[in-house]
């Protein structure tokens, strides 16, 4: 999703608020500290498009309005002082921002939490910046937390032999305990096992 697509998906009243708020951020980047938390009250929290909610879209647009040299520092502070919804909005906006890999520590923080909203938001397109070991642990954490693996960006592309070994270990533990593993995780394990077999053959 590009910023203009997010803007187009918002209600007209939300667009008015966002346009005015973006003007304020252009004029004074520090204004985002007060506008960012207010966005949900002004624009609503309902779903709009492709898994985005109105407040997430509005907040992403505010971040996109920051001058390039302020993005990293403001993103860091907004995440640090954000409530769970604000943190999630920051995480979802990361792929849209000229921030390089400066947002990686935020992903690490989100993945350490036990809040499904944050762990889920950390595994979007920006997770391309995560090293393989961290990414695998995060995918496995999704399985533990009961998050659907469909939220993981480029899952099959990145899933590797090491992840297969980890999933197989979990499947074995679950079988021993008489507890099921989620169907999507079992499906991934089977796909990875099939790939491994084809490679051997």
Partner 1 sequence: MRIFDPHIHMTSRTTDDYERMAAAGVRALVEPAFWLGQPRTSVASFTDYFDSLVGWEPFRAGQFGIRHHATIALNPKEANDPRCAGVLDVLPRYLEKDGVVAVGEIGYDSMTAEEDHAFAAQLALAIEHELPALVHTPHRDKARGTERTIKVVAESGIEPGRVVVDHLNEVTVAAVKDSGSWAGFSIYPDTKMSPPRMVEILKQFGTERVLVNSAADWGKSDPLLTRETADLMLASGFSDDDVDLVFWRNPVAFYGQSGKLDLDDIAPGASFEGNSILRGGS
Q: Which residues bind partner 1 (CB under 8 A)?
A: 33-34, 37-38, 40-41, 81, 83-87, 113-117, 120, 141, 144-148, 151
Number of Cβ within a 10 Å radius of residue 45: 12
Residue 167 DSSP code: H
**In this complex, which beta carbon is closest to partner 1, that of residue 7 or of residue 141?**
141
For residues 187 and 194, which CB has a smaller minimum distance to partner 1 in the complex? 187
* Structural element, H or E, at residue 182: none
CB of 151 to partner 1, least distance (A): 8
Query: Least distance to partner 1 from the beta carbon of 45, Å?
Result: 9
Q: How far is CA 141 from the centre of its chain?
A: 14
* Shortest Å distance, C-beta 200 to partner 1: 33
Judged by CB, which is closer to partner 1: 85, or 195? Answer: 85
Secondary structure of residue 52 in the 3-state scheme: strand
Q: Which is nearer to partner 1, 15 or 151 (CB)?
A: 151
Q: How far is the CB of 199 from partner 1 (least distance, A)?
A: 32
C-alpha span between 93 and 60 (Å, rounded): 5
CA torsion, ordered 141, 113, 148, 99, to nearest 10 deg: -100
Nearer to partner 1, 171 or 196 (CB): 171
Q: Name the β-bridge partners of 47.
A: 53
* Smallest distance from partner 1 to CB 147, Å: 6
- Closest among 126, 161, 158, 164 to 143, alpha carbons compared: 164
């Amino acid at each position: 999703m590009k910023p203009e697509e997010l803007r187009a998906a918002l209600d007209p009243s939300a667009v008015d608020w966002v346009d005015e708020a973006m003007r304020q951020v252009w004029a004074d980047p520090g204004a985002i500290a007060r506008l960012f938390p207010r966005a949900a009250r002004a624009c609503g929290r309902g779903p709009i498009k492709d898994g985005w909610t109105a407040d997430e879209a509005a907040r992403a647009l505010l971040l996109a309005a920051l001058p390039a040299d302020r993005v990293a520092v403001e993103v860091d502070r907004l995440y640090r002082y954000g409530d769970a919804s604000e943190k999630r909005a920051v995480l979802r906006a990361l792929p849209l921002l000229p921030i390089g890999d400066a947002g990686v520590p935020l992903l690490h923080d989100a993945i350490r939490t036990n809040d499904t909203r944050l762990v889920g938001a950390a595994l979007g397109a920006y997770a391309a910046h995560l090293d393989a070991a961290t990414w695998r642990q995060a995918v496995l954490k999704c399985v533990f937390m009961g998050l659907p693996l469909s939220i993981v960006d480029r899952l099959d592309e990145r899933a590797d032999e090491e992840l297969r070994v980890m999933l197989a270990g979990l499947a074995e533990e679950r079988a021993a305990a008489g507890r099921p593993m989620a169907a999507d995780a079992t499906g991934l394990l089977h796909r990875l096992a099939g790939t491994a077999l084809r490679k051997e053959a």
